[in-house]
A and B are shown apart, each in its own frame.
Chain A
Amino acid sequence: MKRVVEGSQAVAEAVRLARVGVISAYPITPQTHIVEFLSEYCANGSLKARFMRVESEHSALAALIGTASTGVRAFTATSGQGLALMHELLHWTSGARLPIVMAEVNRALAPGWNIWVDQTDSLAQRDTGWIQLYCENGQEVLDTVLQAYRLGELVNLPVMVVLDAFFLSHTYEPVDVPEQETVDSFLPPYEPKFQLDPKDPCAFGSLVTPNIYMEMRHSIAQAMDDALRCFPYIEDEFEKIFDRRYGTVEALYCDDADIILVTTGTITSTSRQVVNELRAEGEKVGLMKLKLFRPFPVHHVRSVLISAKKIAVIDRNFSFGAGGIFAQEIRAALCNEPGHPPVYGYIAGIGGRDVTTDVIGEIYRRTKNSEAPEAESIWMGLQEV
């Protein structure tokens, strides 16, 4: 049924429909609404989950690691500082192969206290072994949380579903909220491959010596490869039931495009409008939306981008001393292809600044009008200070 819901509620509805068993979270703006909706569902009985109140984000994830170790479906949500504080346990979750799902509302990091959108928080966790899926709108958020449980539980890895602060978390949109039976047919109850079980005692988390640690890490790497391979099949099933699919990446007008814009999150929606207008003016422009970031869909990205003349990546994030993080990854994906197009890296919308159609239009024109990138990273709309 279509309902007008806030992005945060789209997350909460999906968690309810996924029949999650335990939720634990610590409040932080702009994540709080997700937790408030879920608390409400737990209290009114529409979700039969335990809600664990904790004193910090570190404790929230620690609690869920305990939960998931006993074979229960678990969920948390956080933002910015909260995610940073979880860092130690993010590694633990993937190392312990626990398919916990987290909604991560992108928020800028302090100092320079800022509650608005910026992707550096989630991207700084790219090496923790969590699958990362970036979302563009409320519907995608709801659908992705459901897909996240399927994917994570299949390969035994945790999944971060990432959404923009306010532009997505606090925006109301019509969202198709499916019926419970329909979701049940896509997402069966969780069947853990291993768990703490009094009937079959086992020990988790002991010392691992150099003669086997490397193999354990390699198995995580293989699970990431599996996730990349399996995601399309999960989407096939999802599409059969819900008639929607997103792809690891989505390519719009890319086949004959001279310049392809690469975007993530809500900037994609604005870019769709810009690209449509430019196409109407006869410009050969395409748009590639990146949804799956970990595992990075190298082959897919390469096949979409390789025949363009120029690539323009919009990063709402920055790795100091290196550049926009999506741009780096895209350069790395292309670098071994002979004659690959140059990658222009644009930094925009840091700390919640609006990325308007004008900004995106200017990115397109600058890319078109310059022979080669003026710099590794071009910061858009910087003011004189």
Chain B
Amino acid sequence: MKKGPFDMGQIDIAWCPGCGNFGILTALKGALTELGVRPEKLVIASGIGQAAKTPHYVRTNVFNGLHGRAVPAATAIKAANPGLTVIAEGGDGDMYGEGGNHFIHAIRRNPDITVIVHNNMVYALTKGQASPTSSIGFKTPVQVRGVTEEPFNAIAVSVALNASFVARAFAGDHDQTKDIIKKAVSHRGFALVEILQPCVSFNKVNTYQWFKENTAYHEASYDPSDRFAAFKRATEAEKMLLGIFYVNPDKPCFEDTLPPYYKETTPLFKRRIDGEKLFGLIDSRRRV
């Protein structure tokens, strides 16, 4: 097979055979390749978890930070250098649990980043406890009698917060997932792609088969600019819907609201400090 620009060559991948993460990795690399993103112009930030290992297997710049904290790092990387394509990637525990607060406020802030969440409805790296998206009744060695809390509905929350791009994909559907990632990365503003991901080792309920039976794509005529329709679909649909739920292209991006970028878009690291201007400013504020 021909080596793509994001392929690492022979490496050990620390995922179980059959894990949904493999499909996501392939779709992600495919999407980036087809978009013509250059590896040196891309940064993938992640936290901790099985999903958060993904960037280790992509030939590009990687920031692997604390559990739950990929989104603030990604936001700041984009703010420091808007010329980069920035992706934050992690699991449902990482992004919606430990990182839940960041997730909500990043939507409000609207940085031009893509947030890819591998939703396997379990904490896999710590070997199978319930996550914020586990279904009611899901049994684990910690939730012995089954989960009692309602699962976190990230799609509904994102639409409610007027996120600028909201989509859901399924790791088993390569072409559709690749297409959704391409649209998300091309979108200007905060883009959420939640990817349903079977964890074959610790989630025996939400299997490939289960996802096949319990998901359906939006019909081709669906209009993702209607926020209320999107919310209804995120909350009321019988099956978990797949595809793009909502797009709002009119929100200003976080980077655009930052004073250094009012007049020019050159990344901060490329700018020379104008000493004279700086001292002039300090002098102009002196009282004596």
Contact = CB atoms under 8 A, between A and B. Distances in A.
Interface of A: 26-29, 32, 35-36, 39-40, 42-44, 51, 53, 55-56, 81, 110-111, 113
A81 B94 CA distance: 14
Given A28-B126, A113-B48, A56 B98 contact: yes
B67 interface: yes
What's the dominant secondary structure at chain B's contact region?
A: loop
B144 A40 contact: yes
Given A27-B123, A55-B132, A56-B97, 19 more contacts: A26-B98, A27-B126, A28-B126, A29-B125, A29-B127, A32-B127, A32-B129, A35-B129, A36-B141, A39-B143, A39-B144, A40-B141, A42-B144, A43-B144, A43-B145, A44-B144, A55-B98, A81-B67, A111-B65
A44 B145 CA distance: 9
10 contacts: A26-B98, A29-B125, A35-B142, A36-B141, A43-B145, A51-B142, A53-B130, A53-B147, A56-B97, A113-B48
Contact of B129 (A27, A42, A56, A113): A27
B85 to A, nearest CB: 24
Given A55-B97, A56-B98, A113-B48, A36 B142 contact: yes
Contacts of A111: 64-65
Nearest to B126: A27
A39 B142 contact: yes
A81 B66 contact: yes
A43 B142 CA distance: 9
Closest 6 CB pairs of A and B: A43-B144, A36-B141, A27-B126, A55-B97, A39-B142, A27-B129
Contacts of B67: 81
B30 interface: no
Contact of A55 (B64, B100, B125, B141): B100
Interface string B58-70: 0000001111100
A373 to B, nearest CB: 36
B91 to A, nearest CB: 13
Nearest to B141: A36
Interface of B: 48, 64-68, 97-98, 100, 123, 125-127, 129-130, 132, 141-145, 147, 149
A27 B48 CA distance: 13
Contacts of A27: 123, 126, 129, 142
Contact of B141 (A29, A39, A81): A39
A29 B48 CA distance: 12
Contacts of B125: 29
Nearest to A56: B98
B100 A53 contact: no
A53 B126 contact: no
B68 A56 contact: yes
Nearest to B144: A43
Contacts of A81: 66-67
A42 B98 CA distance: 24
Contacts of B141: 36, 39-40
Nearest to A84: B66
Nearest to B48: A113
A29 to B, nearest CB: 6
A110 B66 contact: yes
Contacts of B127: 29, 32
Nearest to A110: B66
Contacts of B142: 27, 35-36, 39, 51, 53
A39 B65 CA distance: 30
A81 B68 CA distance: 11
A32 B126 contact: yes
B92 to A, nearest CB: 11
B203 to A, nearest CB: 15
A32 to B, nearest CB: 6
A35 B141 CA distance: 9
Contacts of A29: 125-127
Nearest to A82: B67
A53 B136 CA distance: 13
A363 B179 CA distance: 61
A92 to B, nearest CB: 19
A222 to B, nearest CB: 37
B53 to A, nearest CB: 10
A274 B253 CA distance: 64
Nearest to A25: B142
A131 B130 CA distance: 32
A210 to B, nearest CB: 32
A53 B149 contact: yes
Contacts of A51: 142
A32 B129 CA distance: 9
Nearest to B123: A27
Contacts of B129: 27, 32, 35
